[in-house]
Amino acid sequence: MNSSPHEAPQPARIDQMRRDYTLGGLDIQDVHDDPLVQFELWFAEATGRPHDAHPVTRESVAQEAGIPGWFEPNAMTLSTTTAAGDVTSRTVLLKGITSKQFVFYTSYESTKSRQIAANANVSLCFFWPHLQRQVLVSGRAERTDRESSTAYFQSRPYESQLGAHASTQSSTIESREILEQRMAELAEKYPPNTTVPLPEKWGGYAVTPVEIEFWQGRTNRLHDRIVYTRPSDAGPQTPWQLSRRSP
Ligand SMILES: Cc1cc2nc3c(=O)[nH]c(=O)nc-3n(C[C@H](O)[C@H](O)[C@H](O)COP(=O)(O)O)c2cc1C
């Protein structure tokens, strides 16, 4: 910080911060029967890869909204709870979408993983401000198999692989130097261009949704919310129920 008190910027009036959402609307007849397919369509737009039906480009939406095009569109807020119902949220990156699940990777020793072990019900929240859209997913998380975790781990940059070994995620540590020391030791143990094994403590979770909501911002706060629901014990052939929810 190099500004003197005289040059200090005026604090933003949080209560006066508002933006009207005008980019589009969403109706039940607009969306795909399968919410995972619908998610992929919106995700393609969020990453600036327009699909045929709704050719929204990253540049055009960013220009209209007056904000940068996109940054980490696969970032999502993951909320988990303890058995007692205490909630924790944090950002993680979506690393895969299958025909029925959302996949992310983390440490199995982390707070989130301990909470998932206590209660597999989680929620995911994607916010794409450049499209004035939000997607909410409620579902159950389960560990991915070791083969797919290994395949993803091996695709990560070498330093990230070492980092997964070095970190005891969510634990208290004395200093940053401890991490750097561990990284140096690991670089000796696993030199560059050798295979760094998947740590036992690290892997993926796949979230099977029971509800997905697609939210499109509209004018006057009368936003569109189209919701897909399906009971958690429903088979893959069970059709999703679609409804509109009040904003
Ligand atoms: C943009 C962004 C992406 C992140 N992606 C991941 C991720 O994919 N996996 C992960 O374990 N942590 C990720 N983190 C760090 C988490 O937010 C969090 O600090 C960490 O997972 C520990 O969470 P926990 O102590 O609640 O388990 C990310 C953070 C940010 C800001």
Tell the residue nearest (CA) to atom 11 of ligand 1.
Answer: 106
Q: Is residue 66 part of a domain?
A: yes
Q: Is residue 55 part of a domain?
A: yes
Q: Is residue 237 part of a domain?
A: yes
Task: State how far the Cα of 97 lies from the Cα of 106, in Å rounded to an integer.
Answer: 16
CB-CB contact of 81 with 119 (8 Å): yes
CATH number of the domain at 226, please.
2.30.110.10
Task: State how far the Cα of 40 lies from the Cα of 60, in Å rounded to an integer.
Answer: 20
What lies within 8 Å, CB to CB, of 172 at 6+ separation is none
User: Could you report the per-residue pLDDT of 27-38, keeping only the tens digit for each?
Assistant: 999 999 999 999
Query: In the structure, what pLDDT confidence band is assigned to residue 6 with cuts at 50, 70 and 90?
Result: low
Q: Ligand 1 mean position to 84 CA, how many Å? A: 23
User: Could you report the per-residue pLDDT of 185-229, keeping only the tens digit for each?
Assistant: 999 999 999 999 999 999 999 999 999 999 999 999 999 999 999
Q: Is residue 95 part of a domain?
A: yes
> Residue 216 corresponds to which tokens in the numbers above?
């499109």
The best mutation among 76, 79, 91 to test binding of ligand 1, ranked by most ligand atoms within 8 Å of the C-beta, falls on: 91
Q: Is residue 6 part of a domain?
A: no
- What is the tally of structural domains in the chain? 1
Q: Is residue 220 part of a domain?
A: yes
Q: Is residue 13 part of a domain?
A: no
Q: Is residue 121 part of a domain?
A: yes
Query: Pairing relation of β-strands 102-107 and 121-128?
Result: unpaired
Domain hosting 233: range is 21-244
Tell the residue nearest (CA) to atom 19 of ligand 1.
Answer: 90
